[in-house]
Amino acid sequence: MKQKIIQMLERIKMFIKKVFNRNDVLLIQDSKDNIDINNINSTVSPNVTKKQNMREQFEKERQLLELQRKYESGEIKEENLSQPQKSELIEIYKKQITTLEERKVQYQRQIDGYKRQILDAMYKLKEQIKI
In a shared domain, residues 121 and 104: yes
Q: Which residue has the higher pLDDT, 2 or 41?
A: 2
User: Which element (helix H / strand E) includes 35?
Assistant: strand 34-36
Q: How would residue 67 be classed by pLDDT, with cut points 50, 70 and 90? A: very high
pLDDT of residue 38: 53
User: pLDDT tens for residues 4-41?
Assistant: 778 777 888 777 767 666 544 444 444 444 445 555 55
Per-residue pLDDT of 68-117, as tens digits, reads 999 999 999 999 999 999 999 999 999 999 999 999 999 999 999 999 99
38-65 residue pLDDT tens: 555 555 466 778 888 889 999 999 999 9
- CA 105, 107, 112: angle at the middle one, nearest 5? 95
Question: Quick one: 22 and 83 in the same domain?
Answer: no
Q: Do 63 and 39 reside in the same domain of the chain? A: no
Give the list of residues 6+ apart from residue 92 with CB closer than 8 angstroms, or none: 61, 64, 65, 68
What is the pTM for the complete model shown? 0.52
- Regarding whether 77 and 35 lie in a shared domain, the answer is no
State the pLDDT at residue 39.
53
Number of domains in the chain: 2
Compute and round to an integer the Cα radius of gyration of the chain: 32
Identify the domain containing residue 105 by its residue range. Answer: 45-130
Q: Are 31 and 40 in contact (CB under 8 A)?
A: no
For residues 23 and 65, membership in a common domain is answered with no
Considering the domain architecture, whether residues 20 and 30 belong to the same structural domain is answered as yes
